[in-house]
Amino acid sequence: MDERRKPLIAGNWKMNLDLAGATTLAREVLQRTARMRTADICVLPASPLIQAVAKVLEGSAVGFGGQDISPEEEGAFTGDINARMLLSLGCQYVCIGHSERREFHLETDESVRAKTGRALASGLIPIVCVGERLAERDSGATFQRIERQITVGLGGLSSEEMARVVVAYEPVWAIGTGRTATPAQAEEVHEYIRKLLAGMFGEVIASRTRILYGGSVKPGNARELMGQKDVDGALVGGASLSAESFAGIVECTG
Ligand code: PEP
């Protein structure tokens, strides 16, 4: 981590929990992280649970947000939710282009770009996910894949817009598999992403952009991962469903 960038630890609750479970987890996260000031913290509950979580977290230092938004403003898009709905619940963040959205909902770099633009225009902070599949890593295509995801997914944003974007590098082979990228593997890609951003938006914006690592992050591996120069926090799936392990990861930023 670089001192100029405050780390962000984001918990992606995915399609887990129910009203009671989400409320309880939010309370526990709040209690366990109450004195932690070394990172920004947020949780991303499933949409129907956001309002209840918002009630618990209101006025606290723990932010919250959605797991996806429509690129459209509003209208006949059954099942989708828009940025205004998230904002009206008090959300600050939205995850965009998670590999599970790319895989199961056929999201593309182009749709990621459209959603990112919509989030920014609405005042949400987009956490834009990129990452290669195992076959791409094995065939030496990691950087090529990341380059397209970054140049298309964030292409054409203004510097002012990019200054509000968080990037998350999540190698698909490390998500929910228990197989974490080594700190060196993570740093290599994070450094590459920052170089791409410098080429697109200039050194100043690139040096200020938070690039999170995601993929089986736990309290036991978080410190070493976030000790890398270009790793500015974590997007946490499984380990964010326990307040103890989530807080344990936040603690690693201190
Ligand atoms: C994720 O869903 O973004 C993620 C990184 O999951 P996990 O921590 O479970 O690998």
Does 5 map to a domain? no
Q: Label residue 132 by pLDDT band (50, 70, 90).
A: very high
Pocket of ligand 1 (CB under 6 A): 12, 170, 175-176, 214-217, 235-239
CA of 106 to the centre of ligand 1 (A): 19
- Quick one: which atom of ligand 1 is closest to the CA of 240? 8
- For 124, the domain range is 13-238
- Mean pLDDT within 138-159: 97
- Mutation choice for ligand 1 from 236, 241, 245, 249, CB with most ligand atoms inside 8 A: 236
DSSP for 111-173 reads HHHHHHHHHHHHT-EEEEEE---HHHHHTT-HHHHHHHHHHHHSTT--HHHHTT-EEEE--GG
Whole-number Å distance between alpha carbons of 44 and 68: 10
Q: Label residue 77 by pLDDT band (50, 70, 90).
A: very high
User: Quick one: pLDDT at residue 178?
Assistant: 81
- Mean pLDDT within 23-40: 96
- Mutation choice for ligand 1 from 216, 231, 241, 245, CB with most ligand atoms inside 8 A: 216
Does 82 map to a domain? yes
Whole-number Å distance between alpha carbons of 187 and 227: 10
Closest C-alpha among 87, 92, 175 to residue 131: 175
Contact 127, 92 (CB under 8 A): no
Contact 41, 9 (CB under 8 A): yes
- Mean pLDDT within 6-19: 98
Give the residue, by CA position, lying nearest to ligand 1 atom 8.
237
Closest C-alpha among 24, 8, 13 to residue 127: 8
Does 3 map to a domain? no
Q: What is the pTM of this model?
A: 0.97
CATH number of residue 78's parent domain: 3.20.20.70
Q: What percent of the chain has pLDDT over 90?
A: 95
CA of 25 to the centre of ligand 1 (A): 17
CA of 126 to the centre of ligand 1 (A): 17
- Quick one: which atom of ligand 1 is closest to the CA of 239? 8
User: Quick one: pLDDT at residue 2?
Assistant: 72
Residue with tokens 């909902």: 105
Bridge partners of residue 234, in order along the sequence: 9, 213
Does 243 map to a domain? no
- The model's pLDDT over 186-231, given as tens digits with 9 standing for 90+, comes to 999 999 999 999 999 999 999 999 999 999 999 999 999 999 999 9
Helix (H) or strand (E) holding 66: strand 62-66
- The model's pLDDT over 82-110, given as tens digits with 9 standing for 90+, comes to 999 999 999 999 999 999 999 999 999 99
Does 247 map to a domain? no
Give the residue, by CA position, lying nearest to ligand 1 atom 4.
237
> What's the one-letter identity of residue 200?
M
Does 1 map to a domain? no
- pLDDT above 90 (res 1): no
Does 89 map to a domain? yes
Give the residue, by CA position, lying nearest to ligand 1 atom 2.
237
- pLDDT above 80 (res 3): no
Give the residue, by CA position, lying nearest to ligand 1 atom 7.
237
DSSP for 195-232 reads HHHHHHH-HHHHHH--EEEESS--HHHHHHHHTSTT--
User: Quick one: pLDDT at residue 180?
Assistant: 87
Q: If 0-12 CB within 10 Å is exposed, 13-18 middle and 19+ buried, where does residue 83 land?
A: buried
Does 246 map to a domain? no
Whole-number Å distance between alpha carbons of 244 and 44: 17
Number of domains in the chain: 1
Q: Label residue 176 by pLDDT band (50, 70, 90).
A: confident
Residue with tokens 């887990």: 16
